Structure 1
């Protein structure tokens, strides 16, 4: 049986935002508490302006929140995976595109 993973959908450093900092600290705390028994991957949210950021290795997906198709594309890739046991979504209206974060 393969090890189940947690996927976090969130803004993430080097993006400068309070939720990005919180998410990095949460990933660090989980790694410190559970070591290699629990693996975490990150899907970073981008606002369409800085799509070329140099993310750390835990970031395996990037969603351009300004483009609805980007959400669908990443969702299709994630739906093909059976190793993700939980998705943790960090939300703030400003992170997601569309009117009032409708994306």
Structure 2
């Protein structure tokens, strides 16, 4: 309830099989409190988009922090809070979701 009152959209932490990174435009880690793009890595990350090679190469990149892993560029702007949770700040690409579809 305190998140609603303070108008914070706290999305929590990654599930155990995933890793979340907050990176800048050069894919460098950002410190606590600084906003950047959310990248997700780990066992739950897909191999890419079916029959969409160009989109796959734009959104799925090699993980610079763990060899053999890859990261998914979410397009979500977040910041890491001091308690280790992530706060959602919005979309970097201005997409919206309508009935489950991003446009």
TM-score by length of 1: 0.25
TM-score by length of 2: 0.25
Structure of higher RCO (CA pairs closer than 8 Å, 6+ residues apart): 1
Larger Rg: 2
Q: Which structure has the highest helix share of the two? A: 1
